[in-house]
Chain A
Amino acid sequence: MSTETLEKTEEVAVAKKPAEALLSKRRKAFITDPLNEDNPITVQVLGICSALAVTVKIVPTLIMSIAVVFVIVIAYHNISVIRNLIPNRVRIIVQLAVIATLVTLVSEVLKAYNYEMYKVLGAFVGLIITNCIVMGRLEAFAMGNKPYDSILDGIGSGFGYAWIILAVSFFRELFGSGSVFDFKVFEAIGIANFPTNGLMVDSIGAFVVLGVLIWVQRAKTGYVEHN
């Protein structure tokens, strides 16, 4: 009698816990948080290294964003699947090996199908390996979460990174070369001799644009850094 009731309550307990919806509120937060409030670049201070170097024009930036999103999502999934098999002491090397393999893949595909772009991006494709977003979020998230959640977090972080560097590249291309997607904007609206700004093409422009962008974004979200 008693065992029967026990079994029954167990059954009820199992039945009461339905599988989590594919896009439950908790999971949606994985994607939406990094886009704004918890942005990898402006709030978590990750991935600035390779982010800025390619933002002189929009098109290379777009290619770079796609490459990074691809690497992040697949690397998170792979590491998350094998997370319980990785000995703690060698985890950095294992993570680096997975990331380096994916980056090699991206670089070979780029070399084969778009050699011009491969030359423009140059060493910076390889530097996705040491992009702090990839390593940082792998350590902080994928090592302790299930594959599906990790993929969602990867998509969120990847796009959070992408929109910031696209915004930076938009301003740099507009004021540095007077064009958007290589389309001469100022000539089209009748200002043929618009003075282009050399500082914007230079690395300094990226620092200043990103600094101002961070200021605007933090003023909106109300995030304040305390030392």
Chain B
Amino acid sequence: MDLLSLGIKAVFIDNMIFAYFLGMCSFLAVSKKVTTAIGLGMAVVFVLTITVPINWLLQEFILREGALVWLNAGFSEINLEFLQFIMFIAIIAGMVQLVEMVVEKVSPALYGSLGIFLPLIAVNCSILGGSLFMVQRDYTIAEASVFGFGSGLGFALAIIALSAIREKLKYSNVPDGLKGLGLTMLITGLMGIAFKSFIGIAI
């Protein structure tokens, strides 16, 4: 039950976009059409679900202070946490590459729709952010997996909703300076207010 509430919290309340601004760049750049937004959303869910647990293992068995004890009892004072950023980003870039190859082999149709977005995801803030939050909040591996999946789902939900609104907005007449980015920011703010209403939910 705790896991379920953590998942719901990650999707709606601690939403990557509306609460932490993570992944804003692709959120703004790839939200012009619903179909591409769905593609990117799926890819983010996929990669976050894989990388957060893997980085959890990395943190728990290699990077943390005293984590290397399983190799040799004499390593109990070694603290490799300063390597955290490099290791995490290497895992993420590597996993993205791996996922790309596997998807290309197993499902060419999915690869066709995700194709261009997969490399983009390596530098999506929400992926690295998911791993860093997981460390900050001391999750267990089950919690980390649920958190990764939930955060990805929250991102997908936000970007699909925004792209649907932007498709409709094409037909409206807005002031010149506000076209594009300016208006998108204001809409994101309004959507954020709507998402705030989930705060009271407790399961």
Contact = CB atoms under 8 A, between A and B. Distances in A.
Interface of A: 42, 45-53, 92-93, 96-97, 100-101, 103-104, 107-108, 122-123, 126-127, 129-132, 135, 199, 202-208, 210-212, 214-219, 223-227
13 contacts: A48-B25, A53-B22, A92-B122, A97-B90, A101-B86, A129-B128, A203-B192, A204-B192, A204-B196, A206-B21, A208-B189, A215-B177, A225-B181
Interface in B184-199: 184-186, 188-189, 192-193, 196
Contacts of B93: 92-93, 96
Contacts of B133: 123
A53 B181 CA distance: 18
B21 A52 contact: yes
Contact of A208 (B85, B129, B185): B185
Interface string B171-184: 00001111111111
A210 to B, nearest CB: 5
B128 A107 contact: no
B39 to A, nearest CB: 19
B141 interface: no
Nearest to A211: B185
Nearest to A102: B85
Task: Tell me the interface secondary structure of chain B in the complex.
Answer: helix
Given A97-B86, A122-B136, A49 B189 contact: no
Contact of A107 (B85, B177, B182, B193): B85
B41 interface: no
Contact of A100 (B21, B85, B170, B196): B85
A44 to B, nearest CB: 10
B32 interface: yes
Given A218-B177, A219-B177, A211 B182 contact: yes
- Minimum-distance CB pairs A-B, first 6: A225-B180, A211-B185, A207-B189, A49-B125, A123-B132, A218-B177
B177 A224 contact: yes
Contact of A214 (B18, B29, B126, B181): B181
Given A92-B93, A93-B93, A127-B129, A135 B182 contact: no
B7 interface: no
Contacts of B82: 104, 108
